[in-house]
Amino acid sequence: MIEVKNIEKSFGDSKVLKGISTVFETGKTNLIIGQSGSGKTVLLKSLLGIHTPDSGQIIFDGRVYSDLTPDEKRALRTEIGMVFQGSALFDSMTVAQNVAFPLKMFTKNNRSETNDRVDFVLKRVNLIDAHHKLPSEISGGMQKRVAIARAIVNNPKYLFCDEPNSGLDPNTSTLIDNLIKEITEEYDITTVINTHDMNSVMEIGENILFLKNGVKAWQGKKEQIFITDNEAVVEFVYSSNLFKKVREAHLKDLK
């Protein structure tokens, strides 16, 4: 579990996060949504330790990040997996080498142990025969699965995903969503996903945080989005005619 308590963050005269408080639950897919400039990326980077909040606390299972020593912060980082937007794979490394990279950075595993772990996670993301391929030789969806395998290879307690469906077709996006959800539940990970994909919200939105202008404007589950009367949420989520019809049909069924 990750607790966020009254986080404030400014850049110069621009106040980006304004007293954000929330809880990201373990074993669930926690989504951060909002328009561009809402503060969701700054919040995600604050959770990762890339940005230092001006005030407030970020607490990882009882550990206040700002109170940790440098060694304790380094140890915490080994418990974190990250799926970057665009996958961010090393072009000159094979799939297996990309996945093995965190093991070589953060563990003392021997070659056999490393290979066994790489084999295991690649099998888990349904990439059995891609070990020796380069990123340029596989599809975007396969690259994303490699990125997920690399993110979980160290058995993280916390998994962060930045726009994991960016650039993918709808079918592949759904496969990636379901894979992230399955892994989250299977390994009891605290997963935080920064997304603008409303299909992801409807598919795997177990705990959704909606930011607007740096403020927590709403929080709830995907089922609650259908019935909320929060105008900012309705305007954002149901901006397309398709989703408006989905909402109208759901409300009609409830009557």
- The answer on 234 and 166 residing in a single domain is yes
Token pair listed for 106: 């953060």
CB 200 within 8 A of CB 165: yes
- The answer on 67 and 128 residing in a single domain is no
Question: What local confidence, expressed as pLDDT, does residue 237 receive?
Answer: 78
pTM comes to 0.90
Q: Which of 158, 154, 128 is nearest to 142 (CA)?
A: 128
Write the CA distances from 199 to 114, 163, 165, integer angstroms: 36, 12, 10
Does residue 86 fall inside a structural domain?
no
Q: How far apart, in whole angstroms, are the C-alpha atoms of residue 30 and residue 26?
A: 9
- The answer on 222 and 162 residing in a single domain is yes
User: pLDDT in tens for each of the 255 residues of the chain?
Assistant: 999 999 999 999 999 999 999 999 999 999 999 988 899 999 999 999 999 999 999 999 999 999 999 999 999 999 999 999 888 999 999 999 999 999 998 888 899 999 999 999 999 999 988 999 999 999 999 999 999 999 999 999 999 999 998 888 888 899 999 999 999 999 999 999 999 888 888 889 899 999 999 999 999 998 888 788 888 888 887 766 666 666 666 566 665
- β-strand pairing of 63-64 with 80-83: unpaired
Question: What local confidence, expressed as pLDDT, does residue 179 receive?
Answer: 93
Does residue 74 fall inside a structural domain?
yes
| Domain harbouring 180, CATH code | 3.40.50.300
- The answer on 67 and 162 residing in a single domain is yes
Structural domain including 125 reads 91-155
- The answer on 148 and 184 residing in a single domain is no
- The answer on 208 and 151 residing in a single domain is no
Q: Which of 131, 141, 132 is nearest to 180 (CA)?
A: 141
Buried b (16+ CB within 10 A) or exposed e, 95-109: bbbbbbbbbeeeeee
- The answer on 165 and 248 residing in a single domain is yes
Question: What local confidence, expressed as pLDDT, does residue 57 receive?
Answer: 96
Number of domains in the chain: 2
Question: What local confidence, expressed as pLDDT, does residue 92 receive?
Answer: 94
- The answer on 187 and 169 residing in a single domain is yes
Question: What local confidence, expressed as pLDDT, does residue 240 receive?
Answer: 62
Does residue 193 fall inside a structural domain?
yes
- The answer on 228 and 175 residing in a single domain is yes
Q: Which of 17, 52, 20, 19 is nearest to 38 (CA)?
A: 17
- The answer on 249 and 185 residing in a single domain is yes
- The answer on 106 and 196 residing in a single domain is no
